[in-house]
Amino acid sequence: MTYIVNDNCIACKYTDCVEVCPVDCFYEGENMLVIHPDECIDCGVCEPECPADAIRPDTEPDMEKWVEFNRKYAEKWPVIITRKDPLPGAEDMDGKTGKMDLFSEAAGEGG
């Protein structure tokens, strides 16, 4: 089992989760985070930290596409281990649907 970040993170990018991760398996894109599924140790401490409820276990239905999505971008983006401010307007975007249209493949700064 692993945990994944889904599209609820897009345009919010809360980073509360990265501070508690014991193995530094979060990677930062321009407008969301992902978890490297091969580095995640399935501890689950990140899941309750996400205000946007964007972190889910891969054991839920239809999660395989998110495992591959997270793997793809974790291999392209820099690791993030330090909490940062969420994106401007994150509170307004939290819970919105159709956020894949806003997704950016660009890397974040990491750190």
pLDDT one-digit tens code per residue, 5-29: 999 999 999 999 999 999 999 999 9
pLDDT given at position 54: 97
CA pair distance 43, 57, nearest whole angstrom:
10
Tokens of 77: 């983006």
Burial (CB count within 10 angstroms: exposed 0-12, middle 13-18, buried 19+), residue 9: buried
Q: Give the pLDDT score at 21.
A: 98
- Domains, in order of start, for the chain: 3-85 (3.30.70.20)
Strand segments, DSSP code E, in 1-111 are 3-5, 26-28, 33-35, 55-57
Return d(Cα 90, Cα 63) in angstroms, integer: 24
* pTM of the predicted structure, to 2 decimals: 0.96
1 pLDDT band, cuts 50/70/90, is confident
